[in-house]
Amino acid sequence: MKIGNAHLFDGTPGEEKHKFVARWIKIALAFLALLLLLSQSFLIVQAGERALIYSSISGVQHYQLSEGLHFSFPLIWHPVKYDIKTRTYTMSGDRAESQNESDIANRIQVPDDSLTALTADGLPVTIDLSVRFHIDPDNVWRLHQEIGPDFIDKVVRPQSRSVARMTIAGFPVVDVYSGKRQSIVEQIQSTLRPKFQQNYLILDEVLLRDIRFSNEFQAAIEQKQVAQQASEQMVYELQRAESEKQQKILQAQGEAESIRKVADALSHNPGLIPYEYVRLLSPTAKIVMTDGKTIVSLGDLLGEHQEGGTR
């Protein structure tokens, strides 16, 4: 209201200042709300992740978002991220080994998680098993819709334990103890892989970390090993005695062959007998056989010749 050159305010100057500050606070809050809305309008999917969209209107969308920046409708779309990198789930009697990623993150101390199975001959064995797998990146939304984020407890653990037990049941305990472990692992993998695929998981490999047997079977194996070592030592001793026997036989045969050759040579040349006799008496003597009975030393002949020349 204006009267002449004077102004009439509806409020005091303090009230006007208060209204001015309140107006700017509202503008700032609106701007922050807009920024928050814009920030929620974009979704960043990190490397090794996939994101599915749950819509408040239509539910789970039938696709997943790959790595990168994506537009999202705030307050309507609710993204859920899944890690699709390879992970390892271990079932072990060692608590440090059987703790998996979620247990470690939540500081949960898990009990003995090894599995017990019966072999084909009914003997119990305890197994430590690791399963390496990853989520099928093309079916993340199906995994979330049909199974949910607790797929380890619903699929990985029960399926792995069931298949491992059934596989062990097809092998006798001797095969499990000996060199058939690789065959067991291959059979577990071939049986478990399609079961994982049905639940939108991809099996990478199965690791048979350890197999423990009952105390009775272990004692029997140790006794068998001791007996086997004793048997192998006995076989070695027999083989060595046989080798020494063969060496003596060969040596005797060689000596007999040598004697036979000497006897044969003497039978064809009787003069060798006195020659060998004199040679044995004096290996350095020079001998001349004048006839079959007379032996003349060359030293004697040379001595007589020198004496005749002196005369």
The number of folded domains in the chain is 4
Same domain, 277 and 261: no
Same domain, 132 and 175: yes
Same domain, 234 and 117: no
* Environment class of 184 (CB within 10 Å of its CB; exposed 0-12, middle 13-18, buried 19+): buried
Same domain, 17 and 59: yes
48-62 b/e with 16+ CB inside 10 Å = b?
ebbbbbbeeeeebee
Q: How many CB atoms lie within 10 A of CB 120?
A: 14
Q: How far apart, in Å, are the Cα atoms of 230 and each of 33, 219, 225, 241, 242?
A: 85, 17, 9, 17, 18
Cα gap 198→163, rounded to integer Å: 15
Same domain, 231 and 298: no
Q: For residue 258, what is the DSSP state?
A: H
Same domain, 50 and 118: no
Same domain, 91 and 156: yes
Beta carbons of 168 and 119 less than 8 angstroms apart: yes
Beta carbons of 136 and 200 less than 8 angstroms apart: yes
Q: Tens of pLDDT along the chain (311 residues)? A: 444 444 444 556 667 777 777 778 877 777 776 666 666 678 889 999 999 999 989 999 999 999 998 888 877 888 999 999 999 999 988 766 655 555 555 555 556 788 999 999 888 899 999 999 999 999 999 999 999 999 999 999 999 999 999 999 999 888 888 778 899 999 999 999 999 999 999 999 999 988 888 777 766 555 655 556 656 667 777 787 778 778 878 777 777 777 777 677 667 666 666 666 656 655 555 555 555 555 555 455 445 444 555 44
The whole domain housing 240 covers 217-268
Q: What letter represents residue 143's amino acid? A: L
Classified as helix, coil or strand, 57 is coil
> In this predicted structure, what is the pLDDT of residue 9?
45
List the Cα angle 248/249/250 in 5-degree steps.
Answer: 90
Same domain, 171 and 209: yes
Please give the structure tokens belonging to residue 196: 């994982």
Please give the structure tokens belonging to residue 221: 């194996």
**Domain ends where: 63, 83, 103?**
83
CATH number of the domain where residue 125 is located: 3.30.479.30
Cα gap 143→134, rounded to integer Å: 12
Same domain, 239 and 201: no
Beta strands in the chain (DSSP E): 2-3, 6-7, 42-45, 49-55, 59-65, 68-71, 77-83, 87-91, 115-118, 124-135, 201-213, 287-289, 295-297
Same domain, 254 and 185: no
> In this predicted structure, what is the pLDDT of residue 77?
86
**Domain ends where: 38, 55, 83?**
83
Same domain, 221 and 301: no
Same domain, 176 and 254: no
Q: Which residues contact 197 (CB under 8 A, 6 or more apart)?
A: 136, 203
**Domain ends where: 23, 57, 83?**
83
